[in-house]
Amino acid sequence: MKLLEQKLKRVVIILAVGLLFVLPSAARGDDAQNYVTAGVGLYYYTGDITRETQLDEAFIGELSYGRYFHPNFVLDAGVGYIHDDHQGDELQGWPFTLTAIGVYPVEKVRLLGGGGIGVYPMNFDGEINKVIIHGEDTVVGGHVLMGCHWYLRPSGFIGLEGKYLLIESAKFKDEKLELDGLTMIMKLGFRFL
């Protein structure tokens, strides 16, 4: 738990320093204040999960709602679905995330950087270290986000976002799996009032 706290402190410091640079930048204030997005992508594990199971990379889908509190600052709430099924091992998860995002506008592009927290209910069916497991666990974690949104129309955009996830180990029965990883997600979004 202490390692997770250290990782979360780093996320907060990175976010605070990033916001110091992004918030003073010029941005139009007449844009719509809310947006919704839908995205799909891949979740690449960086923890020990690939050594202890047959899992390699997961599908991730995400729906999110964001609110601009300033032309350069957004809070984004998301819900997603994670699924990996490989050679008899299956991992499913439903992440619920909250992300603070600094926005830097450049013409029709919005550069994004931020960090946040999440709750990850997870299910695993398969074999960990040669032990058959059918279990579930809910874990917490933080993430760092970088990406961009390209506005095709004033209210519509496509985007690419990468997140590094720092998640505590999930415990399925007596076996633990490290779920840290990197996600790459393509998004389609719409801004409104």
> What is the per-residue pLDDT across 95-133, written as a single tens digit (0 to 9) for each?
999 999 999 999 999 999 999 999 999 999 999 888 899
Q: Are 112 and 103 in contact (CB under 8 A)?
A: yes
Residue 151 lies in a domain: no
In a domain, 138, yes or no: yes
Span 17-66, pLDDT tens digits? 665 555 554 445 567 899 999 999 999 999 888 888 889 899 999 999 99
Let me know if residue 154 belongs to a domain.
no
Q: Which tokens is 60 given?
A: 């991730």
Any bridge partners for residue 78, and if so which? 64, 97
C-alpha angle 40-42-43 in degrees, rounded to nearest 5: 125
Read off the pLDDT of residues 19-32 as tens digits, 9 standing for 90 and up.
555 555 444 556 78
Identify which of 88, 109, 99, 115 has the alpha carbon closest to the alpha carbon of residue 16: 115
Q: Which of 124, 121, 118, 46 is nearest to 84 (CA)?
A: 124
Number of compact structural domains in the chain:
1
pLDDT of residue 129: 81
Q: Evaluate whether residue 73 is within a structural domain.
A: yes
Q: Is the pLDDT of residue 11 over 70?
A: no
Q: Judge whether 77 lies within some domain.
A: yes
Tell me whether residue 53 is in a domain: yes
pLDDT at 68 over 60: yes
Containing structural domain, residue 34: 2-90+99-145+163-181
The pTM (predicted TM-score) of the whole model is 0.82
